[in-house]
Amino acid sequence: MPPPSASASPSLLRPVLVRNAHPRLRLDRQAVVRVIHTLDAHFANSALPSACPPGELSLVFLTDPALARLHADFLGDPSTTDVITFAGDPGFGVAGEICVSVDTAAAYARKHRRNFSAELTLYLVHGWLHLAGFDDLVPAKKRRMRAAEARALRLLAATDCRPRFTLRAGRPAP
């Protein structure tokens, strides 16, 4: 697949670390990195509240219990959630970290008869948009977030940049 933008040289692409901490998830790390590079390239000069900060970006795929622990430790809420985004410090070359619950994506996809890969990709996009300045806690801002998510997903479809995620058979993680 060609680079996400004809003007984006490999030396200008942000470093993206992908950690799969879910025992049953199978993914193509390069395809996941292409999602981030495509979003970076396309939205860099758009009307986002601010660009996704420069620097290394970490993506972590977790179980529900692991993400719930982060939710409790850092946000004081022990419930499960879909995505938690931690802002980094661009001064130190760190854009942030996006932590995604694979279990939540799988359960939501199953319940709503959605494609699992599409749901997990939406969670990545959602986290990236948080780093770019979007918020979804207030209804008006939530509408802007949903519109930006739809725009990003259309871009990924148009550029054939949708990663394929699969879950290996077995019991859900404890």
Domain spans in the chain, listed from the N-terminal domain onward: 13-161
Name the fold adopted by 13-161: Collagenase (Catalytic Domain) (3.40.390)
Give tens-digit pLDDT for 91-132: 999 999 999 999 999 999 999 999 999 999 999 999 999 999
Question: Which residue in 8, 21, 5, 46 sits closest to 161, CA to CA?
Answer: 5
pLDDT value of residue 42: 85
Give tens-digit pLDDT for 11-48: 478 999 999 999 999 999 999 999 999 999 888 766 55
Output phi, psi for 61, to 5 deg: -100, 120
Looking at the DSSP assignment, which residues form a beta bridge with residue 61? 20, 100
Return the ∠ at Cα 86 (arms to 117 and 90), rounded to 5°.
Answer: 115
pLDDT value of residue 139: 92
pLDDT value of residue 22: 97
Can you give the pTM of this predicted structure?
0.88
Question: Which residue in 122, 133, 130, 131 sits closest to 155, CA to CA?
Answer: 122
pLDDT value of residue 33: 96
Average pLDDT value over all residues in the chain: 88
What is the arithmetic mean of pLDDT over 51-59? Answer: 89
Band (pLDDT 50/70/90 cuts) for residue 169 is confident
Q: How many contiguous H segments (helices) and E segments (strands) does the chain have?
A: 5, 6
Whether residue 4 is predicted with pLDDT greater than 60 in this model: the reply is no
Whole-angstrom Cα distance, residue 5 to residue 77?
40
